Copies of this chain bind each other. A is one copy, B any other.
Amino acid sequence: MNVLTDPAAVLLTEAAHAARSAAAVLAQAPRAQKDAALIAAAAALRAAAPDILAANAADVAAAPDLSAAFKDRLTLTPPRIEAMAVGLEEVAALPDPVGRVLAEWTRPNGLTIRRVAQPLGVIGMIFESRPNVTADAAALCLKSGNAVILRGGRESLRSAGAIHACLGAGLRAARLPAGAVQVAATADRAFVGAMLRAAGLIDLIVPRGGKGLVTRVQEESRVPVLAHAEGLCHTYIHAAADPAMARAILANAKMRRTGVCGATETLLIDAAIAPGLLPLLVDDLAALGCRFRADARARAIRPDLPAANDADFSTEWLDAVLSIAVVDGMAQALDHIRRHGSEHTEAIVTEDAEAAMTFLNGIAAAVGMWNASTQFCDGGEFGFGAEIGIATGRLHARGPVGLEQLCTYRYHLLGTGQVRP
Query: Residues of A with Cβ closer than 8 Å to B?
Result: 27-28, 105, 107, 111, 113, 120-121, 203-204, 224, 242, 245, 248-249, 251-253, 256, 356, 360-362, 365-373, 375-376, 378, 381-383, 393-396, 398-399, 408-420
- Whether A372 contacts B417 in the complex (CB less than 8 A), given A113-B383, A394-B204, comes out as yes
Residues of B within 8 A of A252 (CB): 419-420
Q: List 17 A-B contacts (CB under 8 A).
A: A27-B361, A105-B383, A111-B372, A113-B382, A113-B383, A120-B395, A242-B417, A249-B417, A365-B410, A367-B411, A368-B413, A371-B417, A373-B418, A394-B408, A395-B395, A395-B396, A398-B410
Residues of B within 8 A of A375 (CB): 419-420
- In the assembled complex, the Cα of A411 lies from the Cα of B256 at a distance in Å of 22
Chain B min CB distance to A148 (Å): 14
Chain B min CB distance to A112 (Å): 9
A415 touches B368 (CB 8 A): no
- In the assembled complex, the Cα of A361 lies from the Cα of B249 at a distance in Å of 47
B224 touches A413 (CB 8 A): no
Partner of A398, one of B121, B224, B256, B408: B408
Chain B min CB distance to A399 (Å): 5
- Whether A371 contacts B203 in the complex (CB less than 8 A), given A224-B395, A383-B113, A395-B120, comes out as no
User: Interface residues of A: mostly helix, strand, loop or mixed?
Assistant: mixed
Question: For A203, A204, A360, which residue has the most chain B Cβ atoms within 10 angstroms?
Answer: A360
Residues of B within 8 A of A249 (CB): 417, 419
Residues of B within 8 A of A361 (CB): 27-28
Question: For A370, A381, A408, A410, which residue has the most chain B Cβ atoms within 10 angstroms?
Answer: A410
Specify the chain B residue showing the minimal Cβ separation from A400.
B411
- In the assembled complex, the Cα of A204 lies from the Cα of B361 at a distance in Å of 21
- In the assembled complex, the Cα of A381 lies from the Cα of B242 at a distance in Å of 52
A408 touches B395 (CB 8 A): yes
- In the assembled complex, the Cα of A417 lies from the Cα of B375 at a distance in Å of 13
B399 touches A396 (CB 8 A): no
Known: A107-B381, A107-B382. 10 other contacts (CB 8 A): A120-B394, A224-B395, A252-B419, A371-B416, A371-B418, A372-B413, A373-B419, A375-B420, A376-B415, A394-B408
A248 touches B419 (CB 8 A): yes
- In the assembled complex, the Cα of A378 lies from the Cα of B409 at a distance in Å of 16
- In the assembled complex, the Cα of A383 lies from the Cα of B103 at a distance in Å of 13
Residues of B within 8 A of A107 (CB): 381-383
Residues of B within 8 A of A394 (CB): 120-121, 203-204, 224, 408
Chain B min CB distance to A179 (Å): 16
Partner of A410, one of B370, B399, B410: B399
Chain B min CB distance to A22 (Å): 14
B413 touches A367 (CB 8 A): yes
Residues of B within 8 A of A253 (CB): 419
